[in-house]
Amino acid sequence: MRHLVAHRKLGRTSSHRKALLRNLCTSLVLHERVMTTLPKAKELRPYVERVVTLGRRARAAREAGNNEQAVHLIRQAAASFFPGNAGAFSKKHDQSAERTAGVAALQKLSGDLAARFVDRPGGYTRIYKLGPRKGDGAEMAIIEFVGSEDKKAVKVKETKSE
């Protein structure tokens, strides 16, 4: 019996699983559509929906004039994104560096996505099943935000272990 067993382990340790979900969440917010395996997509869905809800609540708090609450909610959402390549630069303080993935995802979340889903109480994502992968037979799926049907899916580099 699976009583009180909340999430899939995906064949990874807890820190690896958390990093995987943060990377997938960052890619999904930036590209709005990601192709991955079905169990990963099913595990990612509630993770991303919580993040989008935090972005919506932060936007509502900012519009209501409660900036402290908005900052708090944005910081909570930031914990769900991959921090990017902040320490990967060879120069000490390279000002010409591109914005890291997490910062760009956070800006898109609090701007475009929060505005798009302002009237939607939930169900921000959908999953399309694609069938088995040719190499190892893993069930593939596309997870995307509702309203991003015209975008092209980004393939996520996969390992063969599930």
Task: Identify whether the C-beta of residue 28 lies closer than 8 Å to the C-beta of residue 145.
Answer: yes
Pick from 68, 52, 38: which is nearest to 114 by CA?
Answer: 52
Superfamily of domain 14-84+100-155: Ribosomal protein L17 (3.90.1030.10)
* Residues near 87 by beta carbon (within 8 Å), at least 6 away in sequence: none
Q: What are phi and psi for residue 139, nearest 5 degrees?
A: -70, 120
pLDDT digits (tens, 9 = 90+) for 51-99: 999 999 999 999 999 999 999 999 999 999 987 665 555 555 555 556 6
> How far is residue 141's CA from residue 122's CA, in Å, rounded to a whole number?
21
Q: What integer is the mean pLDDT of 28-33? A: 93
Cα angle value 97/22/64 (rounded, 5°): 80
> Where do the domains of the chain lie?
14-84+100-155
What per-residue confidence (pLDDT) applies to 133?
Answer: 94
pTM score of the predicted model? 0.82
Q: Which two tokens stand for residue 104?
A: 């760009």
